[in-house]
Amino acid sequence: MSISTVGVVGLGNMGLGMAKSLVRAGFSVIGYDISDARRAQVEAEGVRFLPLAEVLNGADALVFSLPFAKDVEAVVTAPGGLLSRSDRKVVVIDTSTSDPGTTRRLATRLAETGHGLLDAPVSGGPSGAETGSLTMMIGGEAADMELAQGVIAALSAKAVHVGASGAGNIAKLVNNMLVAAHLVTTGEALKLSESAGLSAEEALKVVNAATGRSAISEAMVPRWVIPATFDSGFSAGLMRKDLRLALELAAETGSPTPLCSRAGEIWEEARQGRIPDTADFTLMADYRSK
């Protein structure tokens, strides 16, 4: 079953970048965003901006890029939308960071009506979306992943099928829990270095050549923290949401997370001060203001 038309629901920083990558790969792309103000920018990139019902009923495959699990559920269950379609099988590639329980429940509902759902959260940020070089961690049926392979290839440089429905979101939550903690610890370490008389730049040369390195120290700090641009395109509010979901999953499964729970408290404490939800999440590693 071929896929020629892809619908993208959610055309923010990530969704628009993915839509552009799909256009570049030769797909006909239709899209919807809750903000009609996105229309001109979207259509300038070769994407037809349509009402949600038309996107859900006109696409051969769907890509979701939405902020919360409740938004994903609202789109999947929209009246007259995907659950009412019987003309073909549609695979939903949900790149949102959601909770595994919601994903599994929606996957069951879609399967009952002949459709598929891949939970496929991504890493790589807006630049990765724009260049089709995201890393995708995918949960769901192998047959659905095979059917949507062309779409996945257009969006990602690396796509890993990590297991059954919900597994992709588990992997993403584990990853982002580490990212949230690493931002805190890296900022504290660089502040210590500066306070003791060694510049952050010099300290990073050692850290990144030794065992303390991470994606935070190797990529984020040099790119967004040291230049003080703080424009990664990912908000502190979204990181707080992901960390909250990870810690809720830990509580549900009885998995102790004393250090990451404290990181969660630090993120919450910063909300009322220097890092509101609208700020860039890399501010958490700003060693100048700690």
Task: Render pLDDT for 249-276 as a digit per residue (tens, 0 to 9).
Answer: 999 999 999 999 999 999 999 998 899 9
Q: How sure is the predictor about 25, in pLDDT bands with cuts at 50, 70 and 90? A: very high
CATH superfamily of the 5-164 domain: NAD(P)-binding Rossmann-like Domain (3.40.50.720)
Is there a contact between 91 and 118 (Cβ–Cβ < 8 Å)? yes
Per cent of the chain over pLDDT 90 is 95
pLDDT tens digits for range 182-192 = 999 999 999 99
pLDDT tens digits for range 135-158 = 999 999 999 999 999 999 999 999
Please give the structure tokens belonging to residue 265. Answer: 């408290």
Which one of the listed residues 20, 89, 158, 172 is annotated catalytic?
172
Q: Which residues touch 233 (CB under 8 Å, ≥6 apart)?
A: 13, 14, 125, 126, 127, 280
Q: Please give the pLDDT value at position 186.
A: 98
In 3-state terms, what secondary structure has residue 48?
strand
Enumerate the domain spans of the chain: 5-164, 170-285
Mean pLDDT for the stretch of residues 69-92: 96
Mean pLDDT for the stretch of residues 28-48: 94
Is there a contact between 153 and 82 (Cβ–Cβ < 8 Å)? no
Q: Please give the pLDDT value at position 290.
A: 53
Angle, CA 55 vertex, CA 237 and CA 9 arms, to 5°:
10
Answer yes or no: 89 catalytic.
no
Q: Please give the pLDDT value at position 150.
A: 97
Q: Which CATH class is domain 170-285?
A: mainly alpha
Q: How many CB atoms lie within 10 A of CB 100?
A: 23
pLDDT at 240 over 80: yes
User: What mean pLDDT value characterizes the chain?
Assistant: 96
End-to-end CA distance of the chain: 55
What interhelical angle do 258-271 and 236-253 show, nearest 10? 150
Sign (positive/negative) of CA torsion 2, 106, 281, 12? positive
Q: How sure is the predictor about 118, in pLDDT bands with cuts at 50, 70 and 90? A: very high
DSSP character string of 124-179: SHHHHHHHT-EEEEEES-HHHHHHTHHHHHHHEEEEEEEESTTHHHHHHHHHHHHH
